[in-house]
Amino acid sequence: MYRSHNCGELNASHINTEVTLAGWVQKSRDKGFMNWVDLRDRYGVTQLVFDESRTDKAVFELAKTLGREFVIQAKGTVIEREAKNKNMATGDIEILVSELNILNAALLPPFTIEDETDGGEELRMKYRYLDIRRNPVKNALLFRHKVAMEVRKFLSDQDFCEVETPYLIKSTPEGARDFVVPSRMNAGQFYALPQSPQTFKQLLMVGGMDKYFQIVKCFRDEDLRADRQPEFTQIDCEMAFVEQEDILNVFEGLTRHLLKELKGIEVEKFPRMTYDHAMKTYGNDKPDIRFGMEFGELNAVAQHKDFGVFNSAELVVGIAAPKCGEMTRKEIDALIEWVKRPQIGASGMVYVKCNEDGTYKSSVDKFYDQEDLQQWAAVTGAKAGDMIFVLSGPADKTRTQLSALRMELATRLGLRNPEVFAPLWVVDFPLLEKDEDGNRWHAMHHPFTSPKPEDMALLETDPGKVRANAYDMVLNGNEIGGGSIRIHDKATQQLMFKYLGFNEEEARNQFGFLMDAFQFGAPPHGGLAFGLDRLVAILGGQETIRDFIAFPKNNSGRDVMIDAPSAIDGKQLEELSIALK
Amino acid sequence: MYRSHNCGELNASHINTEVTLAGWVQKSRDKGFMNWVDLRDRYGVTQLVFDESRTDKAVFELAKTLGREFVIQAKGTVIEREAKNKNMATGDIEILVSELNILNAALLPPFTIEDETDGGEELRMKYRYLDIRRNPVKNALLFRHKVAMEVRKFLSDQDFCEVETPYLIKSTPEGARDFVVPSRMNAGQFYALPQSPQTFKQLLMVGGMDKYFQIVKCFRDEDLRADRQPEFTQIDCEMAFVEQEDILNVFEGLTRHLLKELKGIEVEKFPRMTYDHAMKTYGNDKPDIRFGMEFGELNAVAQHKDFGVFNSAELVVGIAAPKCGEMTRKEIDALIEWVKRPQIGASGMVYVKCNEDGTYKSSVDKFYDQEDLQQWAAVTGAKAGDMIFVLSGPADKTRTQLSALRMELATRLGLRNPEVFAPLWVVDFPLLEKDEDGNRWHAMHHPFTSPKPEDMALLETDPGKVRANAYDMVLNGNEIGGGSIRIHDKATQQLMFKYLGFNEEEARNQFGFLMDAFQFGAPPHGGLAFGLDRLVAILGGQETIRDFIAFPKNNSGRDVMIDAPSAIDGKQLEELSIALK
C-alpha cells in the first residue's frame, strides 16, 4: 500500500501518529521558509507542511518543485494545526512531512480541478478523467453507486432475482431505431442492441422467474435531444401473478425506500391521477405537483361575450400565478413574447391582475366586467395579489402551451426546489395514439401492453378511447418510470399486432417466439422500468443527467475523449461482409 | 395478487388456513373420485386435492381438464396429508380446493419440465423459457444472482464504487476481434463493443476513483470454442495506490467471502505459485491442485542409458497415478492410444507399475533396472500400488501433453470433486509471448501490463524472460480471474507499444487518450477481472457455464430462440451508409 490513511480521515485523535498519505497536489502555498501543500484524494483534502527549520533539506527543496495535480506520497507526523479550518474534516491537523516521493508529475490541467471550474462542457468531456476529480462529478458517481446498491438490496430482499439478458439480440422495426451489429459468423445478418429487455423479461415470466429485475444498459439510435444519451441505464422489473395495484405498491415502496435512505425524506402514499386528469389539470402527463397553479377551464365563463378570440376557441384555459400581481407591463409583455416564441407557439395571452383591494384589471376589460373576472379568479383559484394568465385555441395544443408557461413561471418563482420531492402515479394511459402524420395508430407504451378489459369493445369503434393497464411514476415533473400489465395470451397479442398494422408475417417474424411462448403456459404478468440516469439526477437535486454518467457522449453521439466512433480498417469490413456506401 | 402464498411455503402450521395459490400444473393423478395436482412455482411444489365427495362438482370436473403446464389459480383450505412426503418442504399438507381458475392453457411442452429432462441441448435452447422452469436452470440463475449480490456487497463495504463504463466505444486492432456498431450520425464510422472496460477503468484511476468495480458484459467476436460465449460477464476491478500484494489480498478476501457465504466453506490462505513453477510442476498455468500427481522430471535418472527415445528428448517427465498399479494391459494400451490422439499428440508413453512388494514392472525393463525405476518412483513420488506414466519430447509440448493426461486420470479417478475448492494464485507471468507464427512478440496479458522493474533491462536482450506484475486466480483447474499492475507513465507505455510492434501513429490513434491521461497525474494502479460465468459455474459445482446464463447463444453465435442474428431491411442499411457484400 502506498498509504496508511486516506486524505479525508485524519483528525485531532491522530495527533503524533506517523502516517503515509498519497494523492494529488490540490495547491501549494510557498512562503519561503514554510510551504503548505493541500493533498487531495477521493476521500478529502489534508494539509501537508514543509518547514525549513524542521524538514530535511532535500525534502523541503523537493516540495518546492510540486505542481498542481502532481501525484505524490508523503510520510510524516500528524500535528495540530495552528490556524484550524472548521470547514474541513481534517482542518484540525496537518502533516509535518519527513519523506516525499513524487509518484508521477503532471502537466498543468486544461481547467481547474475545483467545484466551480473554468472548463467548458466540451473541454470537460475531452478530459473527462480530470473532470471526474472534481467533487460535483465524483460525488455524482458515488451517489449513483449508492442508489444502484439500494435498489438491488431492496428488490433482492423481496425475492427479486437479477437476471442478465442478452445484449446481442434481434432487430425489430417497431419503436425507436436500433443500433445493429453485423455478424461475422452469420454473413449478411445483424444483431441489434436492446432498446430494452422487454421480450426477455416477459419470457422470464413465462419461465416462472416470477420476480425479475435488472440494472441494464439500453440503446436507442435516435437524434439526440439535449440530455439524451444513445446508451442509457434502466432499472428493469417484471412480476408474474400480479395486478396493476401490486406493481404500484412494490415500486412505490422502492421509491420511498430510496428517498428515505438517500435523502432522509419520508413521503406520504403517492397520489394517483388518471392520464385524462393530468392532461386537463396540468396539460402534461408528467405534472410537477410541488406547486399548484392548476388549470382553470374558462369556456363557461369567458365565452359568449363579445371577445371573438375566446368565442371561436375550442378551449379557454388559465392559471393563477401566485404573487405576480405586481408584474410590470414590461414584464408581462416579455412573458407574452415568451409564449409566442415558436417553441411554445401561442398566438397571444390574456392577463388579469388581481388587485389587493379585490378588484381586477385585465387586458380584456373592454369585454369583461369585474363580475366576469371574479368568476375567472374563482375557477383558477386566484387570490388577491396573483396574476391570471389565459390562453385559448385548440384544446390539446393550448394545454401544452399553458403547461410550458406554468413550468416557466414556477421556475422563475422558485417553486421547483430540487430538495422537495413530490412523486405521483399517472394511470389509465390511452392504449393507442396516432403517429405524427395522423395516419396510423401505434402503441403509446409498447405493443405488449394490455388494454383494460372493459374497453376492449372500443378497439373497433373508437380506438383512441381505449385505456391501457399502463402507468407512469412521475417525480418533480419528470417521468422516472413507466410500465404496464402485459398481454399474456396469444390471441390478444395477435389482435394487437393486427390493430397496430403489422401483417401476419411481420408479426410472426418479429415476435413469433413470444407468441409461441404464450402458448406454453404464460402467467399474468406486468412490470415497469425506471430510467436510472434521470432518477439519480433528480434524487441528486440536478437538472441534467450528464454529471451522473461517467463517460457520456455529446449531442452527436460522440465520445470526444476516446474519439469514437471512428473508421475501422478494410480487413474488418471484409470479415463482416459489409462495405461502406 | 393472484396468490396469498407461494408453492414452497405451506406446512403443518398452516393447517385449516384458507389460501390462494397460483402456478403451473406439474402433473396430475386422476383416480376417478379423487384427483391430485402438483402445483409448481419458483418456490416449490404444493399438492392440490380434488375430492368428488368434498369438492364442488364444477370445480371437480374442471380439474379433470388440466393438462401439464397449465397456469392455474386455486383457492382452498390447507389440510393434513394422509400420505406424507418427507422429501418435499410442503409434504405434510395438501390443499383441498374450493375454487379453480385456469389462467392460461398450455400446449404439451416439447420436453419434460423435470430435473432430468428428455430435451436435447438444441431443443432446450429453442424453448429456453421452458428450460428455465426446470430446477437445474432456475437454481443456477438464482445462484448467479446471489453470487453477484455478495460480490457487490463485499466490494461496496470496502469502499469500491461501481461505475458504469460505456458500451459504445472505439475499435482497437489489438487483442481479439471486436464486434462493431455502424454509426448513423457519423456516417462511415463505427463504435466497437468493449472486450473489457480496461482503458476506462484505468482512466477512472487517473480520475481519482481509487477503488472501482463493475459487473459488466464484455464482447469478443471469436470463433466459439465449446463453452465460450460471444457476450460474457466480468467482475471488473481496479485500485489505485496499491501494489500487487494489496490486490491479491483484497480479491483473495472476496473469493473467501464467496466460498464462505455461498458454500459454507472456509479456505486457508491461498497458495501462491510462480508461472514457471506451475508450468514445470503441472504443465499448465492454471493447475488443479485438488490432487497431487505433480510432475517429476526424469532427465537426470532416465537419460544416458540405452533408451534412445529418452536420450534424444529435451524433456523426460512423469507422473504417479495413485492406485493405478492394477490397470490391465488393455487399459494401459487404451490410455496410450488416448495420449496419441491428435488433440494430445504424444508419440508414445512409457509406464512403470509399482508393485505392492516394492518391485517395479515397466514397459522399458529392457533398458532400466529396478534401481533405475526406484529412482523414477522417488522423483515422481510414486508409492507401492501406483502406476508411473512417462512422456518425452520437446519440453513445452511434452508438459502440455502430460498435463492433459494428469487431468484425464484425475477425472477418471474421481479426484476432481466439484464440492472441493482449491484456489491459488499463479504469479510472475511472462510479459510477452510469441504469436502463433513465432514472428512477433505480443503482450501475454495486455499491453498495459507493467514489467517487473528488475527485468526491464531484459526487454532489449531477452524479451521472453521479462516477467510481468501479472497474476491469475485459479480455482480447480480454471482461471477464474486475472490481472496486473499497470503501466502508469507515458514513457513506459510508449516503449511497450514500440516493443509490441505498434508504429507511433497507430499507438497515438488507438491509445493517445490514455497516454495523454498519464501526463496529467496518473497514480500507480492495478486490478483484475473475474469471469463471472465461469466463477458461478464452478461455485455451483458444474463443468459448463451454459445453465448459468439465462439466454445463451449456440456455437455459431446464434440465439436459436429469437432467431438472431437476422437480416435487416434495406432502409436500415441505407441509413447506416453501409451495404452488404
- Using one digit for the tens of pLDDT, what is the confidence trace for B516-529? 999 999 999 999 99
The per-residue pLDDT for B437 is: 76
Q: How confident is the model at residue A500 (pLDDT cuts 50, 70, 90)?
A: confident
Q: Chain B residue closest to A23 (CA)?
A: B523
Q: Are A318 and A390 in contact (CB under 8 A)?
A: yes
Size of interface A-B (CB pairs under 8 A): 359
The per-residue pLDDT for A339 is: 97
Q: Do A24 and B521 touch (CB under 8 A)?
A: yes
Q: How distant, in Å, are the alpha carbons of B213, B353, B524 from that of B322?
A: 43, 11, 47
Q: Do A70 and B521 touch (CB under 8 A)?
A: yes
Is residue B565 reached through a cis peptide bond, with omega within 30 degrees of 0 on the bond before it? Answer: yes
- Chain A nearest-CA distance from B381, in A, is 41
Q: Do A577 and B581 touch (CB under 8 A)?
A: yes
The Cα B386–Cα B121 span in angstroms is: 39
Q: Do B180 and A42 touch (CB under 8 A)?
A: no
* A386, burial (CB in 10 Å: exposed 0-12, middle 13-18, buried 19+): buried
The per-residue pLDDT for A274 is: 98
Which among B488, B152, B445 is positioned nearest to A2, based on CA atoms?
B488
Q: Chain A residue closest to B192 (CA)?
A: A565
The per-residue pLDDT for A223 is: 85
Indicate if the pLDDT at residue A458 is higher than 80.
yes
Give how far the C-alpha of residue A234 lies from the chain's centroid of Cα atoms, to the nearest Å: 11
The Cα A528–Cα A449 span in angstroms is: 11
Contacts of residue B211, defined as CB under 8 A and 6 or more positions apart, other chains included, come to B155, B158, B159, B160, B161, B238, B239, B240
Share of chain B above pLDDT 90, in %: 90
Whole-number CA gyration radius for chain B = 30
The Cα B14–Cα B11 span in angstroms is: 6
Q: Do B130 and A170 touch (CB under 8 A)?
A: no
The per-residue pLDDT for B176 is: 86
The per-residue pLDDT for A434 is: 85
A54 is in an annotated binding site: no
Q: How distant, in Å, are the alpha carbons of A157, A167, A532, B215, B438 from that of B145?
A: 12, 18, 20, 12, 43
Q: How confident is the model at residue B37 (pLDDT cuts 50, 70, 90)?
A: very high
Q: How confident is the model at residue A228 (pLDDT cuts 50, 70, 90)?
A: confident
Give how far the C-alpha of residue A53 lies from the chain's centroid of Cα atoms, to the nearest Å: 55
Indicate if the pLDDT at residue B450 is higher than 90.
yes
Contacts of residue B319, defined as CB under 8 A and 6 or more positions apart, other chains included, come to B293, B294, B295, B296, B380, B388, B389, B402, B405, B406, B409
Q: Which grid cell is A40?
A: 487531495
Q: Chain B residue closest to A192 (CA)?
A: B565
Q: How confident is the model at residue A449 (pLDDT cuts 50, 70, 90)?
A: very high
Q: Are B19 and B76 in contact (CB under 8 A)?
A: yes
Q: Do A145 and B165 touch (CB under 8 A)?
A: no
The per-residue pLDDT for A162 is: 98
- pLDDT 10s digits, B113-128: 999 999 899 999 999 9
Unique residue bearing C-alpha cell 507399475: B353
Which residues, listed in sequence order, are joined to residue A99 by a DSSP beta bridge?
A: A75
- Chain B nearest-CA distance from A441, in A, is 22
Q: Are A287 and A295 in contact (CB under 8 A)?
A: no
Indicate if the pLDDT at residue A543 is higher than 90.
no
Q: Do B141 and A163 touch (CB under 8 A)?
A: yes
- pLDDT 10s digits, B152-186: 999 999 999 999 999 999 988 767 899 999 999 99
Please tell me which of the candidates B69, B181, B517 has its beta carbon nearest to residue A181.
Answer: B181
* pLDDT average, residue stretch B378-403: 97
Unique residue bearing C-alpha cell 501525484: A71
- Chain B nearest-CA distance from A404, in A, is 30
Residues of chain A neighbouring B575 (CB-CB closer than 8 A): 177
The per-residue pLDDT for A441 is: 85
A399 is in an annotated binding site: no
Q: Do B562 and A191 touch (CB under 8 A)?
A: no
Q: Do A145 and B133 touch (CB under 8 A)?
A: no
Please tell me which of the candidates B22, B142, B562 has its beta carbon nearest to residue A513.
Answer: B562
Q: How confident is the model at residue A1 (pLDDT cuts 50, 70, 90)?
A: confident
State the first-to-last Cα distance of chain B, in angstroms, to the nearest integer. Answer: 54
Q: How confident is the model at residue B435 (pLDDT cuts 50, 70, 90)?
A: confident
For residue A133, the tally of other CB atoms under 10 A from its CB is 24
- pLDDT 10s digits, B217-257: 999 999 877 778 999 999 999 999 999 999 999 999 999 99
Indicate if the pLDDT at residue A174 is higher than 80.
no
Q: Do B558 and A186 touch (CB under 8 A)?
A: yes
Q: Chain B residue closest to A172 (CA)?
A: B568
Residues of chain A neighbouring B228 (CB-CB closer than 8 A): none
B229 is in an annotated binding site: yes
- Chain A nearest-CA distance from B456, in A, is 18
Which runs of consecutive H residues, i.e. helices, occur in A503-578?
A: 504-518, 532-539, 570-575
The Cα A291–Cα A420 span in angstroms is: 10
Q: Chain B residue closest to A155 (CA)?
A: B149
The per-residue pLDDT for A442 is: 85
- Chain A nearest-CA distance from B330, in A, is 43
Residues of chain B neighbouring A573 (CB-CB closer than 8 A): 581
Q: Are B579 and A581 in contact (CB under 8 A)?
A: yes
Q: Do A170 and B559 touch (CB under 8 A)?
A: yes
Which runs of consecutive H residues, i.e. helices, occur in B158-216?
A: 198-206
Q: How confident is the model at residue A506 (pLDDT cuts 50, 70, 90)?
A: confident
Q: How distant, in Å, are the alpha carbons of A128, A293, A550 from that of B517?
A: 10, 50, 15
A145 is in an annotated binding site: no
Strand B315-321 and strand B350-354: the pairing is unpaired
**b vs e for B345-356, b when ≥16 Cβ sit within 10 Å of the residue's Cβ?**
ebeebbbbbbee
Q: Do A243 and B2 touch (CB under 8 A)?
A: yes
- pLDDT 10s digits, A330-371: 999 999 999 999 999 999 999 999 999 999 999 999 999 999
Whole-number CA gyration radius for chain A = 30
A229 is in an annotated binding site: yes
Residues of chain B neighbouring A558 (CB-CB closer than 8 A): 186
Q: Are A300 and A323 in contact (CB under 8 A)?
A: no
Which among B208, B24, B325, B456 is positioned nearest to A210, based on CA atoms?
B24
B174 is in an annotated binding site: yes
Q: Do B168 and A553 touch (CB under 8 A)?
A: yes
Best mutation target, B198, B217, B566, to test chain A (most A CBs within 10 A) = B566
pTM value is: 0.96
A531 is in an annotated binding site: yes
The Cα A353–Cα A330 span in angstroms is: 14
Q: Where are the beta strands (DSSP E) in A394-461?
A: 423-427, 432-434, 441-443
**b vs e for B403-435, b when ≥16 Cβ sit within 10 Å of the residue's Cβ?**
bbbbbebbeeeebbeeeebbbbbbbbbbbbeee
Q: How distant, in Å, are the alpha carbons of A116, A133, B211, B447 from that of A26?
A: 14, 10, 20, 31
A174 is in an annotated binding site: yes
Q: Do B579 and A575 touch (CB under 8 A)?
A: no
The Cα A103–Cα A100 span in angstroms is: 9
Q: Do B1 and A210 touch (CB under 8 A)?
A: no
Best mutation target, A2, A205, A232, A568, to test chain B (most B CBs within 10 A) = A568
B506 is in an annotated binding site: no
* pLDDT average, residue stretch B492-510: 88
Residues of chain A neighbouring B243 (CB-CB closer than 8 A): 1-2
* pLDDT average, residue stretch A512-534: 97
Residues across chain B: 581
Which residues, listed in sequence order, are joined to residue B424 by a DSSP beta bridge?
A: B474
Mean pLDDT of chain B: 95
The per-residue pLDDT for B226 is: 72
Indicate if the pLDDT at residue A184 is higher than 80.
yes
The Cα A103–Cα A460 span in angstroms is: 73
Residues of chain B neighbouring A562 (CB-CB closer than 8 A): 169-170, 199, 513
Q: Do B190 and A567 touch (CB under 8 A)?
A: yes
Residues across chain A: 581
State the first-to-last Cα distance of chain A, in angstroms, to the nearest integer. Answer: 54
The per-residue pLDDT for B501 is: 85
The Cα B170–Cα A474 span in angstroms is: 36
Unique residue bearing C-alpha cell 390562453: A391
Strand order of the β-sheet with B272-274 is B161-162, B211-219, B231-240, B525-531, B478-485, B470-475, B423-427, B272-274
Residues of chain A neighbouring B579 (CB-CB closer than 8 A): 578-581
Q: Are B485 and B526 in contact (CB under 8 A)?
A: yes
Indicate if the pLDDT at residue A211 is higher than 90.
yes
- pLDDT 10s digits, A379-437: 999 999 999 999 999 999 999 999 999 999 999 999 999 999 999 999 999 999 987 77
Mean pLDDT of chain A: 95
The per-residue pLDDT for A509 is: 87
Residues of chain B neighbouring A2 (CB-CB closer than 8 A): 241-243, 523-524
B356 is in an annotated binding site: no
Structural domains in chain B? Answer: 12-104 (2.40.50.140), 139-272+423-548 (3.30.930.10), 291-412 (3.30.1360.30)
- Chain A nearest-CA distance from B465, in A, is 27
* B187, burial (CB in 10 Å: exposed 0-12, middle 13-18, buried 19+): middle
* pLDDT average, residue stretch A165-178: 88
The Cα A343–Cα A405 span in angstroms is: 11
Best mutation target, A123, A174, A181, A193, to test chain B (most B CBs within 10 A) = A181
DSSP one-letter code for B188: T
Q: Are B296 and B380 in contact (CB under 8 A)?
A: yes
Q: Are B551 and B533 in contact (CB under 8 A)?
A: no
Q: How confident is the model at residue B581 (pLDDT cuts 50, 70, 90)?
A: confident
- Chain B nearest-CA distance from A86, in A, is 25
* pLDDT average, residue stretch A451-456: 93
Best mutation target, B139, B562, B572, B574, to test chain A (most A CBs within 10 A) = B562
The per-residue pLDDT for A158 is: 97
- Chain A nearest-CA distance from B179, in A, is 7
The per-residue pLDDT for A460 is: 86
